[in-house]
A and B are shown apart, each in its own frame.
Chain A
Amino acid sequence: MSTFDTGHVFEAKKLSYDYPGGIAALKKLSFAIGAGELVALVGANGSGKSTLLKLMDGLIFPTGGELLALGQSLSENAFKSGEFRLDFRRRVGLVFQDADVQLFSPTVWDEVTFGPLQLGISKNEVVSRGQEVLQLLGLAHLKERPPYLLSGGEKKKVSLASVLSLHPQVLLLDEPTTGLDPWSQGNLIDFLLQWADKDKCLVFSTQDLDIVEEIASRVIIIGAEHNIVADGKPEDFLSDPDLLLRTNLVHEHSHRHKDLVHRHPHVHEHHHND
């Protein structure tokens, strides 16, 4: 399996996931994601976005319905096959929301070389990839630094570098801009737009509607009931304040204009025509 020759990259069929104890995290989600798509998973806190990304990365498995990735149903049995596991891990990378979870190695260099080494890539190639991603993200000066001594923004960058060294075709990002200052956010957006092309697939979860507008070609909104409430182009939703309000993505707040107090949703309605 060298390219996306299997049709959809991901296909969810009534996908459900319950936490131990029966608490629902996701309810009967159905969607298909193809190559070249830049998909934003949008939803309020606790809607199940992170759980969905873990399911898409084959780290946890559906408790109902089915999730296919690269043409194969994701299940514990599927990952028992060494060939599939190796192929899947080489092609799909997940950047966790909490960088401290992602960065478990003693130094930045160990971190960026960890993935390729575990996947049996030759040592020369591992070194070359490690140097390449450190250069790409401007992290070369931090090579020998322990993750413990990095700033929040640096940790996020190293997390991304640790996955990019796998040369994945599918990149899953959990809340990539959380905790980043505006300059770092801008850099990340620029990088992701350059990274993405028709042979790759980017799926990211976020609550930041600005990044959705700048990156995504498609939005899937997950509601408080853990189901999909909307799926389509970003411009269709970002201009629908009622939908955003209903899904807790914007808030209605009060303003005082002299003696007059009125309430309206806080949403930006500017759009680019080109």
Chain B
Amino acid sequence: MTGEGFLTKNISGITHTLESVIVAEDLCRAPGLLQRLDPRAKVVTFALFIVTVGLARSFWPLSAIFALILAVTAASRISMGFFLKRIFLFIPIFTLVIAIPALFVTPGSPLVTMASKVIITEQGARTAGLLFLRVTDSMSFGVLLILTTRWTSVLAALRWLRMPSLLVDILGMTYRYIFLLLHSTNSMFLARRSRTLGSFSSNENRRWLTRALGTTMVKSRHLSEDVYLAMLSRGYQGETRVLNDFKMEYRDFLWVAFALVAVSVAIWSNRL
């Protein structure tokens, strides 16, 4: 694979992955368990679960929560393969860098000895395992939320939870424009490829990539200035007002109650 091919494939791969994870409109509309819940109920309970996962100190509550995640995924009519692929696509990025050294550097009793000097300690394996499970559970809640809730509803729920309007607007705009800029970057790569023969050295590729990134940054700055003017033109005064048509129903309260019980059991089990 030439350097250029590597770059192009990476950028278009990132675009495709983001699109498939974030723009899951058909899944959001599926008649599953989570899709039917009020977004506020989902955001609040998922946040509670993530905090609980962060506080967990033993394997079993983390494993039980992951089992619950899998059950809820199935009840939400999400293909297990599709879901697991999305989770385990990101987990190595977040965990490997921290977890692998922890296997070797955490002091404790030896579990595995390699080449008579490299030792994986029992405590190291436990730390790495807990970290892996915590990240898996937390990521799963994030992915589940995005797969079963329209992004607009997530933003509206965050507004309802009194998250600062500016922050919610920034999140919304990032979602709106990230694809535009990624597609623009893809087009730059294609335009370059259409005008060149053969391959480039790594140095040339790096120089070109730097220039492309600079151009994209300048474009995004101009775009943001114009978007701001377009907002002002339609009356924006620093705080976005939105229409909210949320309605909590019986099943939402039931889900919140269930989540509270599950979280309480997990916290209680930590004390044992």
* A residues in contact (CB < 8 Å) with B: 54, 57, 59-60, 85-86, 89-90, 93-94, 96, 98, 100-107, 110, 113-115, 117-120, 123, 126-127, 144, 146-149, 162-163, 166
Say whether B66 faces chain A, with CB atoms less than 8 Å apart: no
Does B230 lie within 8 Å of A126, measured CB to CB?
no
- Neighbouring B residues of A103 by C-beta, 8 Å: 176
Say whether B241 faces chain A, with CB atoms less than 8 Å apart: yes
Say whether B265 faces chain A, with CB atoms less than 8 Å apart: no
- Neighbouring B residues of A54 by C-beta, 8 Å: 229
13 residue pairs bridging A and B, Cβ less than 8 Å apart: A57-B233, A89-B235, A96-B230, A100-B177, A101-B229, A106-B152, A114-B234, A117-B241, A117-B243, A126-B243, A127-B243, A147-B176, A148-B180
Q: Which of B223-259 contact A (CB under 8 A)?
A: 223, 226-227, 229-237, 240-243
Most-contacted residue by chain B among A60, A89, A107, A118 (CB, 10 A): A118
CB distance from B163 to the nearest CB of A (A): 15
Does A86 lie within 8 Å of B235, measured CB to CB?
yes
CB distance from B198 to the nearest CB of A (A): 35
- Neighbouring A residues of B240 by C-beta, 8 Å: 114, 118
Say whether B151 faces chain A, with CB atoms less than 8 Å apart: yes
Q: Which of A59, A123, A149, A163 contacts B232 (CB 8 A)?
A: A59
Does A93 lie within 8 Å of B172, measured CB to CB?
no
Q: Which of B176, B235, B243 contacts A123 (CB 8 A)?
A: B243
A119–B233 CA distance with the chains assembled, in angstroms: 11
Given contacts A59-B232, A89-B234, A163-B234, whether A110 and B180 have CB atoms under 8 Å apart is no
Does A115 lie within 8 Å of B235, measured CB to CB?
yes
Say whether B23 faces chain A, with CB atoms less than 8 Å apart: yes
- Neighbouring B residues of A102 by C-beta, 8 Å: 230
* B residues in contact (CB < 8 Å) with A: 23, 25, 150-152, 155, 172-173, 175-177, 179-180, 223, 226-227, 229-237, 240-243
A100–B219 CA distance with the chains assembled, in angstroms: 13
CB distance from B18 to the nearest CB of A (A): 11
CB distance from B167 to the nearest CB of A (A): 15
Interface of A is mostly: helix
Known: A104-B172, A162-B234. 16 other contacts (CB 8 A): A60-B229, A86-B235, A89-B235, A90-B235, A101-B229, A104-B227, A106-B151, A106-B152, A106-B155, A106-B175, A110-B152, A113-B243, A117-B242, A148-B179, A148-B180, A163-B234
A89–B233 CA distance with the chains assembled, in angstroms: 7
CB distance from B188 to the nearest CB of A (A): 17
- Neighbouring B residues of A110 by C-beta, 8 Å: 152, 242
- Neighbouring A residues of B180 by C-beta, 8 Å: 100, 148
Does A118 lie within 8 Å of B235, measured CB to CB?
yes
CB distance from A59 to the nearest CB of B (A): 5
A7–B98 CA distance with the chains assembled, in angstroms: 71
Given contacts A118-B237, A148-B180, whether A104 and B231 have CB atoms under 8 Å apart is yes
- Neighbouring A residues of B150 by C-beta, 8 Å: 107, 144
A98–B235 CA distance with the chains assembled, in angstroms: 19
Given contacts A89-B233, A110-B152, A115-B235, whether A96 and B241 have CB atoms under 8 Å apart is no
Q: Which of A104, A127, A163 contacts B173 (CB 8 A)?
A: A104
A121–B81 CA distance with the chains assembled, in angstroms: 47
Given contacts A89-B234, A118-B241, A149-B23, whether A98 and B152 have CB atoms under 8 Å apart is no
Nearest 9 pairs of A and B residues by beta carbon: A118-B235, A115-B234, A106-B152, A119-B235, A101-B226, A117-B241, A89-B235, A59-B229, A94-B233
Does B243 lie within 8 Å of A101, measured CB to CB?
no
**Least CB separation from A127: chain B residue:** B243
Does A105 lie within 8 Å of B172, measured CB to CB?
yes
- Neighbouring B residues of A101 by C-beta, 8 Å: 223, 226-227, 229-230
**Least CB separation from A82: chain B residue:** B237
A90–B233 CA distance with the chains assembled, in angstroms: 10
A59–B25 CA distance with the chains assembled, in angstroms: 36
- Neighbouring B residues of A86 by C-beta, 8 Å: 235
Most-contacted residue by chain B among A98, A106, A119, A147 (CB, 10 A): A106
- Neighbouring B residues of A107 by C-beta, 8 Å: 150, 152
CB distance from B134 to the nearest CB of A (A): 31
**Least CB separation from B233: chain A residue:** A94
